[in-house]
Amino acid sequence: MPRDVMKISISAATYRSVVVITCSSFLAAVLWGAVFRENMSGYSIAAALGFWALLASSFLIHNSYQNGKINSLRNFAEKQEFEIRWKNLMLDNTDEMFIVLNMYGQIVTFNQTFENLMGLPRSDLQGKPLRAVFMNEVYEENSNLSYVLLDRLRDVFLGKETLFTYSIRFKGTDRVVSINLSMRPVCNKGELQNILVSGRAVHSDRIVMKNLVGEAGRYCMDNNISDLYQLSHRLTRNLERWLPRAQIYLLQMALQEVLTNAVEHGNLEVDYDMKTELQQRKGNYWDILIKECNKDYLAARKVHISYSLDEEKVVYVVKDEGCGFEWRKYLEQEEEAGEGAFVRTFHGIGLQLVKNVFELSFGQNGSEITMVKYFQEHRHSA
Amino acid sequence: MPRDVMKISISAATYRSVVVITCSSFLAAVLWGAVFRENMSGYSIAAALGFWALLASSFLIHNSYQNGKINSLRNFAEKQEFEIRWKNLMLDNTDEMFIVLNMYGQIVTFNQTFENLMGLPRSDLQGKPLRAVFMNEVYEENSNLSYVLLDRLRDVFLGKETLFTYSIRFKGTDRVVSINLSMRPVCNKGELQNILVSGRAVHSDRIVMKNLVGEAGRYCMDNNISDLYQLSHRLTRNLERWLPRAQIYLLQMALQEVLTNAVEHGNLEVDYDMKTELQQRKGNYWDILIKECNKDYLAARKVHISYSLDEEKVVYVVKDEGCGFEWRKYLEQEEEAGEGAFVRTFHGIGLQLVKNVFELSFGQNGSEITMVKYFQEHRHSA
């Protein structure tokens, strides 16, 4: 509370009445005492009157003190109300969603944008752990994402700011929202007090939706999983004019799979045994992978991505600087052994997804993969 | 103020003391009266005591009422303070700048992001008209921008939401900030009360700065000046790795000039006399131009833009569907007559700028212009 709330002003009128009442009461008491000098009860009455005068004065002073307090508190509250009104105006009229978590990861407050984005009533969000909100029955389950979120939350609890992209797929609809999230620890005297989460849906804007005819881009990326994930969202965000969102989501996942493969099995030459060993360690597999394997001459290797989009198709070419990753072996393995071996190798989400989504071709001894998706079936009007 | 502030609860203890004091006082008075039955002053004292008891009770009740009021106000203010703390946390930790204007266009409140972006102290912003802030001596004067801002403010005062891009160039530095601004009228009972301004600096992000090798895009645009302005910012935002910002700003202006020419003199076939006539009318020239000339078969004409960026250069090709705009005539005019005639024709900012910034070549009878900017001189490290 600011100190000025406690400042009390007693009005001149109150002062005057206190003085007048006190003086006149005492005068009356003294006169009474003088007239009935011989009569003790006269003195009693004078004393009673004097006491009454004191009481009345103290009452008036106290009352004035309290009124002052009430007025200044009321003014303060009114000022704050204005401030809150402006702040709500700003917070609720933006594309950016804001969430404040307490130190247990529970939602303390958020803005309207978050509510709208999640499609859930306020009461389903307030006080809930963020993870529980994202794992809500409204959305399709995705254990991979849950893992990412938990992992990033762990980073924030350790005091690190973290940026990542998170996709939510709404059950029974083709609505998919990719959100660029940032989580920032808010500390007081070195202790984590709150976590500020802010985010913004990744989507193509009006000019892209209406006017883009085609685009292309080339990127040269380090062995950085989080950057590659972000790139996968960037390189799929302008497809909305040509593909339904649920499809875009699949393309995203497939692209992520290929990009992480390029780092893991391509540039960093991790084989099945190595992967199994690393996965048994405590912590996030990808963090451990980069920490253990992104060293020396391997760390200088790049992932080269080229992307092009036109009215007919989208094409991604991903090339790593590894010795050639044995795609064929894995593909054959799958065909021979059925899903079992394959799924075990890639731990759930794998090359299969990529094959279902894109037309694939390989070059450079397997270190270059070209993925093409034609739009003819799903052509959307602008 | 919420109603619950006025709800007063008198505690049980207060009630009890009021009752005890009142009863015991009256009891004392009655006893006194009974003992000194013959003595009139006994009754006087009893009356005084009774009066005192009443006074004390009313004082206690009133005091308790006021204490209740103070407590509930204090709780309310504390709740508000928490709310403000969270809201500040959200508002001051975002890339988005927020400004609330009153109905006279003066700044009522804003967030930290706006303060940081403008590089001005809080006191230089609070209470000032937004226009005065943008026309501050810290920035270079740009009459064109001032005009755009006034124009968009006029739209908002008329109750229309408006989106535009605004570039600020800081004096004596090469700092240029392009901001995508949105202005939204906030009405109460049909009357404009406030204007919410929000904006976000247009710049390339980390992945682009670090990893982009090259990109390209093709756009097919309507005769819409505001969309073309926005596109000019989009098509220059990823140059930061290759050019200093002051240069990017010049490229932006030159691109805007060519794009508006494509609409004005290309697609809508406005000649010098027509332009002079339209400019003499009241209102924004570009609004009048679109309203008067973007009709019938002319309205269906497009502006085709292709953009490509690589390590060496950036290339823009702008093509309109007009009968061929007489670039040569204007260029010759300039060379013959010096700046005078040329500047008059293009009203200050013209083709001259474009020639100074880009290497130009023309095709399609003048309806296609190719602009190339090589980086070798100003190559920036990533």
Q: Are residues A213 and A322 in the same domain?
A: yes
Higher local confidence (pLDDT), A128 or A331: A128
3-state secondary structure of B317: strand
How far off is chain B from A263, nearest CA to CA, in Å?
16
* Model pLDDT, residue B11: 54
For residue B234, which residues of chain A lie inside 8 Å, CB to CB?
Answer: 207
Q: Are residues B141 and B169 in the same domain?
A: yes
- Residue A8: which of A58, A78, A72 has the closest Cα? A72
- The reply to whether residue B52 touches residue A51, judged by beta carbons under 8 angstroms, is yes
Is the CB of residue A58 less than 8 Å from the CB of residue A41? no
Q: Are residues A102 and A161 in the same domain?
A: yes
Q: A259 pLDDT band (50/70/90 cuts)?
A: very high
How far off is chain A from B368, nearest CA to CA, in Å?
18
* Model pLDDT, residue B348: 38
Last residue of a domain, one of B92, B109, B131: B92
- Residue B330: which of B231, B264, B232 has the closest Cα? B264
* Model pLDDT, residue B370: 94
Provide DSSP, B221-240: E-S-HHHHHHHHHHTTGGGT
Residue contacts between A and B (CB atoms, under 8 Å) = 177
For residue A49, which residues of chain B lie inside 8 Å, CB to CB?
Answer: 48
For residue B91, which residues of chain A lie inside 8 Å, CB to CB?
Answer: 87, 90-91
* Model pLDDT, residue B364: 74
- The reply to whether residue A55 touches residue B51, judged by beta carbons under 8 angstroms, is no
Q: Alpha-carbon Rg of chain A, whole angstroms?
A: 36
Beta-bridge partners for A139? A170
Q: Are residues B361 and B280 in the same domain?
A: yes
Please report which residue ranges of chain A form alpha helices under DSSP H. 12-35, 40-92, 112-118, 130-134, 143-157, 206-211, 225-234, 245-261, 272-279, 285-293, 296-299, 327-337, 339-346, 351-357
Which chain B residue has the Cα nearest residue A229? Answer: B207
Q: Is residue B379 part of a domain?
A: no
Task: Give the whole-angstrom CA distance, residue A337 versus residue B95.
Answer: 51
Q: Are residues A109 and A229 in the same domain?
A: no
Q: Are residues A222 and A263 in the same domain?
A: yes
* Model pLDDT, residue B99: 93
* Model pLDDT, residue A378: 46
Taking only the tens of pLDDT, chain B with its 382 residues reads 444 343 344 555 565 666 666 666 656 655 665 565 555 565 666 666 666 667 677 777 777 888 888 899 999 999 999 889 888 888 888 888 999 999 888 999 999 999 988 888 899 999 999 888 887 777 777 666 677 777 788 888 888 888 887 778 788 777 778 888 889 998 888 888 899 999 888 776 778 888 999 999 999 999 988 889 889 988 998 898 888 888 888 898 899 989 998 998 889 988 888 888 888 888 778 888 888 888 889 999 999 999 999 999 999 999 999 887 666 666 665 555 555 444 444 443 577 778 889 998 888 788 899 999 999 754 444 4
Last residue of a domain, one of A157, A178, A201: A201
Is the CB of residue A265 less than 8 Å from the CB of residue A329? no
The domain total for chain B is 3
The DSSP letter of residue B266 is I
Last residue of a domain, one of A92, A112, A133: A92
Q: Tokens for A229? A: 């994930």
How far off is chain B from A338, nearest CA to CA, in Å?
39
For residue A81, which residues of chain B lie inside 8 Å, CB to CB?
Answer: 1, 80
Q: Are residues B192 and B242 in the same domain?
A: no
Q: Are residues B67 and B186 in the same domain?
A: no
pLDDT digits (tens, 9 = 90+) for A94-123: 888 999 999 888 999 999 999 988 888 899
Q: Tokens for B127? A: 């209470």
- The reply to whether residue B56 touches residue A55, judged by beta carbons under 8 angstroms, is yes
Domain CATH for A142: 3.30.450.20
Q: Are residues A81 and A216 in the same domain?
A: no
- The reply to whether residue B98 touches residue A90, judged by beta carbons under 8 angstroms, is yes
Q: Are residues B106 and B26 in the same domain?
A: no
Q: Is residue B382 part of a domain?
A: no
Task: Give the whole-angstrom CA distance, residue A293 versus residue A299.
Answer: 8
Is the CB of residue A204 less than 8 Å from the CB of residue A241? yes
Task: Give the whole-angstrom CA distance, residue B181 versus residue B199.
Answer: 4
- Residue A293: which of A282, A277, A305, A304 has the closest Cα? A277
Q: Are residues A183 and A229 in the same domain?
A: no
The owner of tokens 């940032």 is: A182
Higher local confidence (pLDDT), A195 or B12: A195
Domain CATH for B352: 3.30.565.10
Q: Are residues B213 and B297 in the same domain?
A: yes
* Model pLDDT, residue A215: 95
Question: What is the domain range of residue A352?
Answer: 206-378
How far off is chain A from B343, nearest CA to CA, in Å?
32
